[in-house]
Structure 1
Amino acid sequence: MGRTPEEKRTIGGIVGDINVMLGSYIRAQLILASLTVMSYTLALSVMRVPYAFILGPLAGLFEFVPVVGPALASVMVFVIAILTSYPHLVWLFLFLGAWRVVQDYVNAPRIMGRSLEIPPVVQIFGVLSGGEIAGVVGALISVPAIATLRILWRRMTSDRSVDAPVTSPPPTDHM
C-alpha cells in the first residue's frame, strides 16, 4: 500500500524535525563536554593536582555518559589525588561537588533547553525518570526521547500545513 502525498510530507517533516533536534542535542553535549574539559583542566591545574592536563580531557569524555560518567570522572580524579598524596583533598572534593551541581542543574538544563526547546525542570525530571526506568541507557536517551515526543505532539496539534517544519528557525539578530 502506498502512502498519500500528504502522509509522505508529514512523515518527511517529522523526520526532518527529529534530524534537527538530534543535531542540536549532539551540539549541546559537545558544549557541555567542552565546559567540563576547560573547567577541570583549569581548576585542577590551579589547585596543582597531578596530571591535571590528562584528567580534564578524560572528565570531558566521561561527560557523554549521563550520571555514571561524571561520577566515574570525579572518583578517578579523587583516587589519583589520593594515590599521589595530594594535600588538599577537601578543596578538591568541594570543587568536584560544586562543578556537578553547576553542570547538572545550571549548564545542562540551560544549554539543552535552549537547543531543544524543553524546559530545564522537564529535562531533570526526564533524566531522573529515564534512569529509574532503564538505568544508564534510560538516562542517556531520555532527553532526545522527550524532544521527539514534543516534536510529534506539535506536529499532530499544529494548525500549520503538514509539510511546514515545527522546529523554530534560529534567532536572527536585527540591529
Structure 2
Amino acid sequence: MKIQNAFTLGLVATLGVGVGLLIIGAVASLATILTYVGVALFIALGLDPIITWLERKRWPRWLALVTVLIVVLGIVTGLVFAVVPIIVEQTSQLITTVPEVVNRVLDERWRESLTQQLGGFIDINEVYNAVVSYFQDTSNITALAGGALQVGIGIASGAFGVVIVLILTLYFTASLNSMKRAAYRLVPASRRERFADLAEQITHSVGRFVVGQISLGLINGILSFIFLSIIGAPFPAVLAFLAGMLSVIPLVGTISGSVIIVLVCLIPGLSTGNGLIPGLSTPILALVAGIYYIVYMQVEAYVLSPRIMNRAVSVPGALVVIAALAGGTLLGVLGALVAIPIAASILLIIKQVVIPLQNER
C-alpha cells in the first residue's frame, strides 16, 4: 500500500513508533514475571533429562514424572526444615557477636595492635575515624535506613518469587512434552521434523547443563560444610550454603563464594574453635581456607567441570567467557546461567543448518 499524503504518512509512522514504545514498556513492566517464567522453564528443562532417563529404564512417563516432582518437593522441604533453621540459628549467633566485635573496635589499643600486625600498611585508626564520621552524618543514616527497608522488601519479594518459580516449575515439568508438540505444529510440515530434531537436541543440551551446574553446586556446598566444620570456621552451614548457591553461577560463582568465606574467616572473634583442628587464630584460619579454595577451584576447573560439563555442552573456552559476560551484563545472574547453553544452541544451529546450506550453494 502506497501512502501519498504526507500527513497520513506521518500519522502512520507516529502510530507505529507509539505501538513499538508501548510494546517495549509492556515488556519492561513484565520483566519480573518473564524472569520467573525463564527460571522455571530453565529448571524444568534440567529435570527433563532425569525423567527421560527413568523412561529409558521402562518407567511409565507418569510414574517418572510424579517421582521426580516428589523428589524436588522433598528436597525443597528438606532445605526449609533442615538447613534454614541452622542458618537462622547461626545468623542469630552472628548478631549476638556483633557487640563483642564492636567493643573490640572501640578499644584504641586493639586498633593500634591490629595496625602493627598488618605491618602498618593499613591504619585501622584512620579507617575507624572515617567510619565514625560517616555515621555522624544524618543524611547517611537516612540513606542506610532506606536501604535496609529496600533489603527487607527485596527479601519478601525473593520469597514470593521462589514460591512462584516452584509452582511454574511443577507445571512446566508436567506439561513440557505437550508444550514442545504445540510449538512444533507452528512450523511448516516440510520442515517440522528437522526443526523438532534440532529443538530436542537444544533442550537436552540445556537440561544437561542445568544438571551439571547443580551437581557442581552440591559438591562445593557439601565439601565446604565438611571442611569449614573441621577447621572450626564461623557459621559453616551458612557459608557452605552460600558457596553452593554461588557455584551454580558459571565462571565467577565459585571464586566469589571463596572470597566471601575467606573474608568472613578474617573477622576477629567469629571463629567457633569447635572443629577437629581447634585453636586456629584468625589469620591462620583465613589462610587455611584460602589454600583450600585455591586447591578446590583447580580440582573443579580441571577434574570436576570437564567430566560433568563436557557431556552437557560443547563450547570453546573463549566463547564460554564471552557468553557468560554478555549474559550477565544483559540479564544479571539469570543471563549468566542461560548464556552458555544459548551459545551451545547457536553453535549447534550453525553446524547443522547454516554450514550445510552454505555447502549446497
Aligned to 2:323: 130
Tell me which of the two structures has the higher relative contact order, counting C-alpha pairs closer than 8 angstroms and 6 or more residues apart: 1
Structure 1 16/134 Cα, relative in aligned 2: closer, same or farther at 3 Å? closer
What is the rounded CA distance, in whole Å, between the counterparts of 2:204 and 2:323 in structure 1?
Answer: 22
Q: Is the 8 A contact 1:129 1:139 kept in 2?
A: no
Query: Structure 1 residues 115 and 68 mapped into 2: Cα distance closer, same or farther (>3 Å)?
Result: closer
- In terms of mean alpha carbon deviation, does 132-141 or 99-108 score higher? 132-141
Q: Does residue 155 of structure 1 match 2:352?
A: yes
Structure showing greater radius of gyration is: 2
Given that 1:33 and 1:64 are in contact with CA atoms closer than 8 Å, whether structure 2 keeps it comes out as yes
Does 1:40 find its partner at 2:220? no
Asked if structure 2 preserves the Cα contact closer than 8 Å seen for 1:126 and 1:142, the reply is: no
* CA-to-aligned-CA distance 1:24-52 (integer Å, 9 cap, x gap): 11111111111111111111111221211
CA distance, structure 1, for counterparts of residue 212 and residue 245 of structure 2: 14
Inter-CA distance 13–91: structure 2 relative to 1 (3 Å threshold): same
TM-score, normalising length from structure 1? 0.73
Distance in structure 2 (CA, Å) of the matches to 1:140 and 1:28: 12
Q: Report the counterpart of residue 88 of structure 1 in structure 2.
A: 285
Separation in 1 of the partners of 2:214 and 2:328? 22
- Kept after mapping to 2: 8 A contact 1:45/1:52: yes
- Between the aligned partners of 1:106 and 1:5, the Cα distance in structure 2 is 45
Please provide the CA RMSD for this pair.
2.5
> Tell me, which stretches of 5 or more residues in structure 1 are unaligned?
159-175
Provide the residue aligned with 1:75 in structure 2.
259
Q: What is the SS of the residue equivalent to 1:115? A: coil
Higher helix share: 2
Cα deviation digits, residues 114-150 of structure 1 (max 9, x gap): 233x27xx2x322223355565557544421332134
Name the SS for the 2:310 alignment partner.
helix
Q: Which of 312, 319, 328 matches 1:115?
A: 312
Rounded to whole Å, the distance in 2 between the matches of 1:73 and 1:19 is: 29
Cα distance per residue 1:44-82 (max 9 Å; x no partner): 111221211221111100112223332331122112211
Residues of 1 paired with 2:229 and 2:248: CA distance?
A: 23
Counterpart of 1:62 (choices 229, 242, 246) is 246
1:108 Cα deviation after fit: 1.7
5+ residue gaps, structure 2, are 1-185, 272-281, 357-361
Query: Residues 3 and 22 of structure 1: is their aligned pair in 2 closer, same or farther, counting only changes over 3 Å?
Result: closer
- TM-score of the superposed pair, with normalisation by structure 2: 0.38
Runs of 4+ in 1 over 6 A off after TM superposition: none
SS in 2 for 1:114: coil
Over 3 Å counting, the alpha-carbon distance change for 1:92 and 1:151 in structure 2 is same
Q: How many residues align?
A: 153
- The 2-side partners of 1:57 and 1:32 are apart by 13
Q: For residue 101 of structure 1, what is the amino acid of its counterpart?
A: Q
Identity %: 21
Q: Say which is worse superposed, 141-150 or 87-96, in terms of deviation.
A: 141-150
